[in-house]
Amino acid sequence: MAEFRTFDDRDGFIWWNGELKPWREAKPHVLSHGLHYASTVFEGERAYGGKVFKLTEHSQRLIESGRILGFEIPYTLDQIDAATNMVVEANGLHDAYVRPIAWRGSEMMGVAAQQTRINLAIASWDWPSYFSTEARMRGIRLQIADWRRPSPQTSPTRAKATGGYMICTMSKHRAENEGYDDALMYDWRGQVAEATGANIFFAKDGKLHTPVPDCFLNGITRQTVIGLARERQIQVVERAIMPEELAGFDEAFLTGTAAEVTPIAEIGPHRFQPGRICQTLVEDYARATRA
């Protein structure tokens, strides 16, 4: 059995407010505002062959997420890009996951926290691909989540903020406890939205259909896959998708930094057969990440 390693007890380095620190020393105070009030934003990135895919797009979204939550990350786009590359290199990583995170510190404790320091840390660890192409093409199983993505009038849905993932963790835990791989979430209107950490696409009659990202993130992988599909002359239709339409689609798949392009075999009572479109985009995305 492989040795289990917690994420606070590892060798390596984490970039922390402008310098590389030994991994085990990168610890915020328990009274950090970000821990108590979710004033925290983050990114999920992947390095392929030592190069972070779409790095600048991720760094820009991190900065914008902070601004949506009312704070300015005290580093420029170029500095964040450079720090990210430094972390991957310092840890000697080839294929890796990268986690930048920015949060309000411990200078104030209460809902109001205008005088808190904005901290930025970047960690990276080894993360090979989850599946071979053959295994991925068998498809995963999704449950229908009880929780729904909120209205943008009730939550800052354009920010990749930690607080937005509470219901995702709850939904994924329930799905896994009941034998599924993930969960499909509807939005507050009852429309199909996304999985717990990835966007979703459906295929029918040679076209792709995907929900409009008006209350969840327009993922960077999602945008990449739309571009790859259009290069293949596959029409992509962004629209509201209702649950009763799921029975009429032929193929379905998830897109995300961790998921990459992952075909779906089942969503609740609905069955899908990963086919030509899924196979094409799995392969095209794999090539794009290592170009």
Catalytic annotation, pick one of 160, 172, 204, 207: 160
CB atoms within 10 A of CB 166: 11
The secondary structure of the chain, three-state, reads CCCCCCCCCCCCEEEECCEEEEHHHCCCCCCCHHHHHCCEEECCEEEECCEECCHHHHHHHHHHHHHHCCCCCCCCHHHHHHHHHHHHHHCCCCCEEEEEEEEECCCCCCCCCCCCCEEEEEEEEECCCCCCHHHHCCCEEEEECCCCECCCCCCCCCCCEHHHHHHHHHHHHHHHHCCCCEEEEEECCCCEEEECCCEEEEEECCEEEEECCCCCCCCHHHHHHHHHHHHCCCCEEEECCCHHHHHHCCEEEEEECCCEEEEEEEECCEECCCCHHHHHHHHHHHHHHCC
Contact indicator for 225, 255 with CB cutoff of 8 Å:
yes
Whether 160 is catalytic: yes
Annotated active-site positions, please? 160
